[in-house]
């Protein structure tokens, strides 16, 4: 099964330094999810990379259901987003 990979930095400025604080992944359409380490209201800069086109959703307790509530992510097309520390990412298949 394809996966979404996340590389996490403490801030946007640290992306240029190449010093990530976390690497994690979630299976697309699987029962697992990936959590961003930390807690509180501190935002993290996250690079998402998907092996297959998918919908991703991140929140304290997310359930991705498709176009109405999730962000589209193309295969082999990295995206950078900011996510609250402690939030979780889930992904479902997009055709």
Give pLDDT tens digits for 31-89: 667 877 766 668 889 999 999 999 888 888 887 777 778 899 999 999 999 988 888 88
Bridge partners (DSSP) of residue 51 are none
Name the DSSP class of 36.
Answer: P
Mean predicted confidence (pLDDT) in 8-14: 86
Reduced to 3 states (helix: H, G, I; strand: E, B; else coil), residue 35 is: strand
3-class SS of residue 14:
helix
31: which DSSP letter? S
- Which residues 6+ apart lie within 8 Å of 61 measured at CB? 88
pTM: 0.85
């Amino acid at each position: 099964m394809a996966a979404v990979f996340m590389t996490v930095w403490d801030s946007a400025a640290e992306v240029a330094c190449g010093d990530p604080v976390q690497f994690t992944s979630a299976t697309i359409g699987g029962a697992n999810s990936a959590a961003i380490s930390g807690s509180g209201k501190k935002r993290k800069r996250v690079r998402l990379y998907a092996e297959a086109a998918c919908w991703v959703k991140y929140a304290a307790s997310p359930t991705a259901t498709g176009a109405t509530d999730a962000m589209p992510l193309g295969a082999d097309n990295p995206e950078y987003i900011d996510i609250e520390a402690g939030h979780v990412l889930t992904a479902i298949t997009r055709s």
